[in-house]
Amino acid sequence: MFEHKTKVLLVLPQDAVDRARVLAGKATTLLKIPVSLQIVLRALIEEGLKRNGDRGLLANIEGQAQAVRRIRSLAAQGGRAEGAGQRPRAHPPPGEGTGSRQRRPK
């Protein structure tokens, strides 16, 4: 099965990894043998590659390709694009976005 191995680094969203871990847990319970995250990811890749004409798969590929293109474009511009380089705030500063107005000191 692993005559020709290649190592690959994957950067995945945390929710995708979490869902794959859940699937590994379900597979372990159902099959009664240990199933690792790596086994699940390998199986998902192999099954996904069999669906080369699937619209959902192509839509996912397109979305990811566009996201990478946007990120690279922003990096090439040095983060000068609108909103680039600004981290989203978890909470607005006091008085901002809460409906209350603060008075300016005179």
Domain residue limits, the chain:
14-76
Residue 86 — pLDDT band, cuts 50, 70, 90?
Answer: low
22-60 pLDDT, tens digit per residue, is 999 999 999 999 999 999 999 999 999 998 888 998 899
Angstrom distance (rounded) from CA 49 to CA 42: 11
- pTM for the full predicted model: 0.62
Residue count of the chain, please give it: 106
Spatial contact of 17 and 41, defined as CB atoms under 8 Å apart: no
Residue 95 — pLDDT band, cuts 50, 70, 90?
Answer: low
**Cβ neighbours of residue 35 closer than 8 Å, sequence gap 6 or more:** 24, 25, 27, 28
